[in-house]
Copies of this chain bind each other. A is one copy, B any other.
Amino acid sequence: MAETKPLDSRDGMRFLGQVRRGNVFEETLGQLLRAMRLGVFPPGEKLPAERELAEALGVSRATLRDSLAELQSAGYLQVQRGRYGGTVVAAHPNTHENPLDDSDRARIEDVLAFRSVVEPAAAELAAGASLTATQRNNLMLAHEAVNSADATNYRPLDARLHVMIADLSASSMLAKAVAEARDATSELLDRIPFLKPNIAHSSRQHEDILNAILHGDGASAKKLMQEHLDGTATLLRGFLD
């Protein structure tokens, strides 16, 4: 057996991966908030039935209901009973408490670096994939949804489009990474004021990216996505100066 130097093994424990970050109730709450940020459950849409959602989250219905009750009383959800009832996602109550400050600098650079690795690559691979008619159509629907969004529901729909693009990349690991990057970005963006003019610009960029993907032009898709991300990067960085 070869020698194995300890190195900074205590520090390497960073890559352990916690089994539980808190109690199940809190983690469930977190996953639901994340799903809403990512547009998995866009504003105005119904959540899956509790029994279904509980199973998807790997959690008992009782615990899920505790979390849902919390979100409901915080104004994120509206519940209606009876057949064809359900739990509806309200517009994201965009509270700008806890604004970004200089202590967030490292986190911002972390997220931006990760994003610009993972998203352009996903766009490039998506362009390389041969898409079904349904997939193309879904892309366009998602894009239109972003276009007709207002300030209260823009971010989740935007996130959904980006994740949807990554999901075409034939690598589920990459798609998952993009979802994580997007979520982290949304968390940061939720802490700065919403700027109106950016939307029109973003929309044009989305259109260019989608065109490149639909035409199978991977190089362009990658480049355009990179530029698209640069906008957000400048926005976030600029907010600290």
Contacts and interface: CB of A to CB of B under 8 A. Distances in A.
Contacts of A175: 15
Interface string A29-62: 0010011001111111100100000001111000
Given A111-B173, A141-B5, A171-B114, A57 B19 contact: yes
Interface in A125-145: 125, 134, 138, 141-142, 144-145
A160 to B, nearest CB: 7
A110 B230 CA distance: 27
A163 B109 CA distance: 20
A164 B141 CA distance: 42
A16 B31 contact: yes
Chain A contact residues: over half helix, strand or loop, or mixed?
A: helix
A225 interface: no
Given A1-B150, A3-B145, A4-B44, A113 B15 contact: no
Interface stretch (A177-185, A187-195, A233-241): A177-185
Contact of A20 (B13, B16, B58): B58
A222 to B, nearest CB: 11
B114 A4 contact: no
B16 A57 contact: yes
Interface in A98-117: 109-111, 113-114, 117
B153 A43 contact: no
A169 interface: yes
A173 to B, nearest CB: 4
A221 to B, nearest CB: 14
A9 B41 contact: yes
Which 10 residue pairs across A and B have the least CB separation, nearest first?
A114-B173, A113-B171, A18-B58, A2-B148, A117-B121, A20-B58, A4-B42, A19-B27, A15-B179, A110-B171
